[in-house]
Amino acid sequence: MRTTRTWKTSMATAVCAILAASAAHAANVPDPTSPITLAEASRLTLKGKSTVHDFSSTATRLQLAVEVADTLGSGDSVLARLAAPGAVKSIVLTIPVDGMKSEKEGLDKNMYKALKAATNPNIVFRLRSASAGATPGEFRVGGELEVAGQRQPIEMNVRASEGPEGIVLEGSKALLMSSYGIKPPSMFLGTLKTNDQVVIDFRLVLENNGF
């Protein structure tokens, strides 16, 4: 029974590693030292509502640092090899604020201002913990999210599966901008106001570089 619990914990850690990598879009500049890359089908989008219409903004660039062991153990799949104890050492995901793009340039500019991009140009996620979820293929991911210069703990559920296209991670997370000291953006002399809550949706497809 102890072996089973250890395997589940290490598998959850591996999924967390994959999650951090997955926030990148295929258009991002890849990290040449990382064995994890994203397929073009990967998507991560921030969605919100305003007094006039809904809006969305998609991450187009990021920098990912995933440190894995020099030698990975054997396994029937990439996910199984990453699940081995000690396989994944650390993960830091950095998203440039000016890489978040919507269909409205005016909204982008207001969002950059609200996120204090001039003094805090990056959104940073740092992995802290992971645990197996209540159902097969579900994991509880814990970490630290830094936005607009403020750091807050964050937890989310992630569904993981493996198929012909790669390792697929799916989920969503609601956040309050005010939790990070952000005033929700407004436009047109305040006649258009965005809601405090935003939702991050992701479907991320991971490939590997031959390990």
Query: Which pTM value belongs to this model?
Result: 0.74
Residue 165 scores a pLDDT above 90: no
Summarize the confidence of residues 181-204 as an average pLDDT. Answer: 78
d(CA 115, CA 124): 13
Segment of 12-16, 51-55, 62-66, 85-89 carrying the highest mean pLDDT: 51-55
pLDDT (tens digit per residue) in 12-54: 545 554 454 444 343 444 444 556 666 777 777 889 887 777 8
pLDDT at site 83: 61
For residue 39, how many C-alpha atoms fall within 13 Å in the half-sphere facing its CB? 14
Q: Which of 116, 184, 173 is nearest to 150 (CA)?
A: 116
Strand 150-163, strand 138-147: pairing: antiparallel
Sheet strands (E) in the chain: 36-38, 43-50, 54-59, 63-68, 88-96, 100-101, 122-132, 138-147, 150-163, 166-176, 186-187, 192-208
Residue 8 scores a pLDDT above 50: no
pLDDT at site 53: 78
Residue 139 scores a pLDDT above 50: yes
Bigger pLDDT: 176 vs 65: 176
